[in-house]
Amino acid sequence: MEKTLIASGKTIDLAIESALNQLGLDRDSVSVMVLQQAKAGFLGFGAQPAKVQVTYEAPDPVPEKVEKPKSALGAASRSKPKAAAPVKKPVEAPKPAPEAPKAQPKAEPVKEAPKPVKAETPKAPKERKPRAPKAPKAEPVKAAEPKTYAPAAPGSVEEKIEIFIKGLIEHMDSNAVPHCRKENENTYHVELVGDDLGYLIGRRGDTLDAIQHLANYTVNRDVEGHIRINVDAEEYRQKREDSLRRYARKKAHQVLKARRRTTLEPMNAYERHVIHAALQDMDNITTHSTGTEPNRRVVIEYVR
């Protein structure tokens, strides 16, 4: 049930505070409507306080119980009734005693019929699966036998090549031993054997190429005609060729897909030759070299 209260004060806030103090409520429990703003007047005349109307919820009043008037009938009902005369019960005749039950003959237990015996069928013998033949034991991998090198004949070109390269790598503080063999009429192959050959190979075979270049330049001054010397260590040349062929095919497929040319990293003449040979039979691909040594590169280009 909503109720209202009107309060006044010098300001609206003071009027609201006065109403709340009277009701004993907080600000959130009431709603306020301003009825009149405060006016200061002139020299104290005509001043008017602020008035607010506060609305709040009050509990509904409990209705009083109305007592019903006492009637004469009710009073008569409360009077004690007169005692009634006792009623005599009729005397019952005694009941005859119940006869004892006759003993019944005991029933004979019923014999169960014998259960039929099931004839056992003979079980079929299990078929034995043939065992798979055992795989033959793998033979242990035999260690690769060390290569044997025949000594160079005294005074031969092979001996001259071995002497020069041996002296060269000794100046490089290496104990590797060069072994030279003749591959064909004008080509000789030198294999460096020993420990720590990575130092003689260098980054991408740079040191090995330098040894090969110096050997070709020096030995060709002391022999008739022109020979070619190939220097290798730990089969680096073959491994490098395989790697260059895979690299060339990968780049060529990228060129075919994008239909745009690509330029490879700088390579020496031998490595550029491997790239050209690997792609010479590939359709819609052509190669050529550009630039100057030592920054000469292979260009792989798409052609229709």
pLDDT digits (tens, 9 = 90+) for 242-259: 999 999 999 999 999 999
DSSP state of 223: S
DSSP state of 80: P
Confidence of residue 72 (pLDDT cuts 50, 70, 90): very low
Over residues 73-129, the pLDDT tens digits come to 444 445 444 544 554 554 554 555 555 545 554 555 555 555 655 555 556 556 666
CB atoms within 10 A of CB 248: 22
CB 161 within 8 A of CB 190: yes
Residue ranges covered by each domain of the chain? 2-57, 157-234, 237-302
Over residues 147-183, the pLDDT tens digits come to 777 788 888 899 999 999 999 999 999 999 999 999 8
Closest CA to 10 of 33, 30, 39, 44: 39
CATH superfamily of 237-302: R3H-like domain (3.30.1370.50)
DSSP state of 263: E
DSSP state of 185: S
What does the alpha-carbon distance between residue 289 and residue 32 come to, in Å, rounded to a whole number? Answer: 95
Report whether pLDDT(300) > 60: yes
CB 231 within 8 A of CB 192: yes
Q: What is the pLDDT of residue 268?
A: 86
φ, ψ of residue 244 to 5 degrees: the values are: -65, -35
Helix boundaries (H) for the chain: 12-23, 72-77, 157-170, 198-201, 206-219, 236-258, 269-279
Q: What is the pLDDT of residue 76?
A: 41
Domain at 157-234, CATH class: alpha beta
Residues 59-63, mean pLDDT to the nearest whole number: 67
